Amino acid sequence: MFTKLKLSNSTAANIDWEMTPDLAFCTFSAKGVRDALTNTDERVCYFFIDNYGELPKLYLMERGTRYVNILAEITAPVSMLNDCIISHGSPLTSKDNFPIDSTLQAWLIREVVEQEDSPFLIPTILEEAENEYFGEALPAPGATGFTGEIATLPTEQCTLSEEQLEKTITQWNFSDTKLNPQGQFDNALVEADELTIIDEATGIMWQRSGLDLCSTRQMTRDIAELNKAGYGGYHNWRIPTLEEAMSLMESTQNSKGLYLHPCFSKEQPFIFVAAKRAPTGYWFVDYKQGKVYWSSGTVPGGFARLCRAVSEH
């Protein structure tokens, strides 16, 4: 299996059978809190069930602090995947990612891992183009036809409990695959320049890309440097609030596998926001999973995509 997948040199030729999607997220986002680990090449492979589609799918993931990639789909019997979901105490309609169980592990070892040319293994690694695709050109400012009232989203850091988070998401009709899967906040995106995007529906300018994975300490320094240099011609960039970040969440995945308009870079699959969790922790907006996560870390780290109000100069 490992020969067929041509795994990276930094990936050990084994599977971490104890790793789960939630544990992987917490493990690798938490490593960003220590500056010394922001450039680590450490990666891990694990299997998980994706139940966001009409039928569950089994994937092999390779994960690192700055690397998230599905290596292969495994065409296991659907009945086996359904049994695994049920074994976790969830209905088959649950839209979530699930760790594998012992039955699936035994089947995978026998039919996939120990086979050099398993018929159940479908590699998904593709040769990526040098330049990331950002979708069709956006309209110029003022050309979207947007005539509605500009939504005034909160701009200050706040502390939200899980109950308050759910109310916030439904209040603004933000899309969240777990809390509000039918939600859709309507944007009116225009291209300001090659570095920035403006949403005329909120009056917010966004970085098209963003900051690399790092600690909040390093993030603060990086933002200060960007503002000092006048990134995009402005000096008032900041971390978005949870509401601002959620306003970009799409209800369906784009071709890059993100619940986000393709005009934004895939290099920031989840972003840190200016919101704490009550009673403890910090909130993250994850465009890969299409929902809000929280980290228990006392000093969080993560990716960042900065924003600024277009009326501010």
Q: Are residues 287 and 168 in the same domain?
A: yes
At 75, the pLDDT band (50, 70, 90 cuts) reads: very high
pLDDT tens string 83-133: 999 999 999 998 888 999 999 999 999 999 888 788 999 987 554 435 788
Measure Cα distances from 171 to 70, 95, 166, 243 in Å. 34, 21, 8, 10
Q: 147-172: buried (b, 16+ CB within 10 Å) or exposed (e) per residue?
A: eeeebebebeebebeeeebbebbeeb
- 209 and 305 belong to one structural domain: yes
Examine the domain organization and report whether 8 and 119 are in the same domain: yes
Shared domain check, 67 and 11: yes
Same domain assignment for residues 87 and 190: no
Q: Do 58 and 47 touch, CB atoms closer than 8 A?
A: yes
- 140 occurs within a structural domain: no
Residues 66 and 195 in one domain: no
Residues 163, 290: one domain?
yes
Tally the domains of the chain: 2
Asked if the model's pLDDT at residue 209 lies above 80, the reply is yes
* 55 & 183 share domain: no
pTM assigned to the model:
0.65
Q: Which of 106, 123, 140 is the last residue before a domain boundary?
A: 123
Domain presence at residue 145: no
Residue 272: give the domain boundaries: 158-309
Domain match, 232 and 296 both: yes
- Choose between 251 and 44: higher pLDDT: 251
Question: Same domain, yes or no, for 59 and 102?
Answer: yes
Q: β-pairing, 270-277 with 189-191?
A: unpaired
Is residue 107, in this structure, part of any structural domain at all? yes
Q: Compute the average pLDDT of residues 23-39.
A: 53
